Structure 1
Amino acid sequence: MGTLRYAVITAFCCNGLAIAQASAQSAPAVDWSGFSVSALAGGGILTPETDAEGLDPSAYFSAASDLKQLKDAGSGSPTEWDWSASLQVGYSRQFGNIVLGVGATGDLLLWDEKRSSTQDWISLAGTEFTLKQRVEADWMVALRPRLGWAQDNWLVYVMAGPTLSRLKIETDYSDNVGTGAEGHSSDSETKLGYVIGIGGDYAIDKNWSVSAQYSYTDLGTVDTRTHVFNASQAANPGDIDSSVDLSSHMAMIGFTYRFDAF
């Protein structure tokens, strides 16, 4: 009887120890709850979808071929790499392996894209025009709720939220018709857009982690109108409408400090 009792107790203890060890192995090794601050740097591909066209009817751009040429010259989708840096503050709560959080971000942008097109006027042999466009943005702020999964020292998450930035578009036009024509316009708008993305953290210790993020941002459209004047054709001014639809793909890496949860 004593032997049987010993065997039962031993089996119970061993099974309990095995369950405890399995639970410890499956439980996240890091508590991601609490406030955090992150500093990241990187860059991405900026894609400004540009468009331009002469107003119809227009005394200066009177031929149908003129309107088509302006639209072709001002329409495009150049892609270039630009640098950026981000400061982020956030708060998270962990429920088992699930981590819910929200972050507020402020990004320093070095977005300055230019494109230029020079073409011979089809409607007037021996003349040409040049259309230049420039798109700029130097800051962006966003609110990013996120849903994550924690395992061992890892945290991976998805995020989405509203974003705000100030975009500027400039258009310059010139030609050598008669005494030559010139036009310049510049407009800026604070645009509300959206950001979606994914991210991951690897905990170095209780407070520090290495962080990486990818995000796609769409900031909408900015428009401007350029008035074209030629002294030799003063009675026939013209106008060009230009617009840009700005989006970006950004990748950043940096460090996060997590304050102790309370």
Structure 2
Amino acid sequence: MKMHWLGSAAVLPVVLASPALAAPPAPVPYTWTGFYVGLNAGGAWGRFGNSTTVDCNVPGFTPPGTFSYLCNTGFPGDGDLVAAAGTGSFNASGFTGGWQAGYNWQVSNVVAGLEGDLGVFRLQGSRQVSGVLDQSWKGTPFTVTNSASTDWLFTFRGRLGVTVVPNLLVYGTGGLAVTRVDTTTTYIDTNTFFLPFSGAAGSWNGSAIKVGYTVGVGAEYALANNWSVKAEWLYLNFGSITASGRIADLGGFGYSQALSTRTDLTANIARLGVNRKF
């Protein structure tokens, strides 16, 4: 009996320790590695810059029957005045939203990835400046209007960041940005010399798909079941496009002038998004 009691006492510590030995394993930290798709929406604000040039390097009379309307070689006339009216910038704001897809690789607490997105990018605005011709047709009121817009956006960017905690990623991003820019400039005046066909007018427009660049920062937080939410800011620069045209008197007397306007676009985006990792 004594030996049996001693044997039971020796086994008791093992039995008491068994629940600790059977404790569940610690949870595995979240990993960002993998493919994901998602949606985003937010606001965009941008600046269109315009620079208008009037072609004064032409003879006063160009066969077969065209006279310079604002200026010509040796006579600056009102070329600089109209060019200044068509030069300036204006702001535009609007909605942006669409979808994104990408892939992340995680090593320790560093996460690198590639992401592409495509969606709506609605910026539209205009500016209008009026003046009075002083040389060519003295005392004639005129107005120059610049307008520009965009409608869609595509970006393809790299992302590089670190996990502050396993479920929170902060990152920088940068890469390619593509959009279509439409621009229009119009000129109109009320030159009474051409009565009953009063005034002169013209409009020139251009549209081009512009490839630029984007840089930005963001933060993404992983939720349960491989869902995550993110907030992101992007700066975009698309360079410029040029539109050329001509104004002419409305009476058909043969007066005209060539003009051109260069329009550039820079913009910012602030947006929220949701992703699902697979």
Name the TM tier (shorter chain).
Answer: 0.7 to 0.9
Aligned to 2:184: 170
Helix, strand or coil for the counterpart of 2:78? helix
Helix, strand or coil for the counterpart of 1:64? coil
Which AA in structure 1 matches 2:40? L
Q: What's the CA shift string for 1:165-214, capped at 9, x where partnerless?
A: 11111111111113211111221111111111111101222411121110
* Identity across matched positions, percent: 27
Helix, strand or coil for the counterpart of 1:122? coil
Maintained 8 Å contact 2:154/2:179: yes
Q: Does 1:50 align with 2:50?
A: yes
Tell me, in whole angstroms, the C-alpha distance in 2 between the residues paired with 1:221 and 1:114: 16
Tell me, in whole angstroms, the C-alpha distance in 2 between the residues paired with 1:161 and 1:65: 46
After TM superposition, the score normalised by the length of structure 1 is 0.83
Matches within 5 A, 1:72-221: 72-123=84-135, 124-152=137-165, 153-177=167-191, 178=193, 179-221=198-240
Tell me, in whole angstroms, the C-alpha distance in 2 between the residues paired with 1:164 and 1:255: 22
After TM superposition, the score normalised by the length of structure 2 is 0.79
Helix, strand or coil for the counterpart of 1:126? coil
Give me the CA root mean square deviation: 1.9
Q: Count how many residue pairs are aligned between Structure 1 and Structure 2.
A: 234
Aligned to 1:61: 70
Tell me, in whole angstroms, the C-alpha distance in 2 between the residues paired with 1:125 and 1:181: 14
Which AA in structure 1 matches 2:145? K
Helix, strand or coil for the counterpart of 1:209? strand
Tell me, in whole angstroms, the C-alpha distance in 1 between the residues paired with 2:70 and 2:139: 16
Q: 5+ residue gaps in structure 1? A: 1-23
Maintained 8 Å contact 1:30/1:206: no
Larger radius of gyration: 2
Which AA in structure 2 matches 1:166? R
Displacement of 1:65 after TM fit?
Answer: 5.4
Which AA in structure 1 matches 2:263? V
Tell me, in whole angstroms, the C-alpha distance in 1 between the residues paired with 2:244 and 2:111: 48
Tell me, in whole angstroms, the C-alpha distance in 2 between the residues paired with 1:227 and 1:81: 30
Aligned to 1:237: 256
Maintained 8 Å contact 2:204/2:246: yes
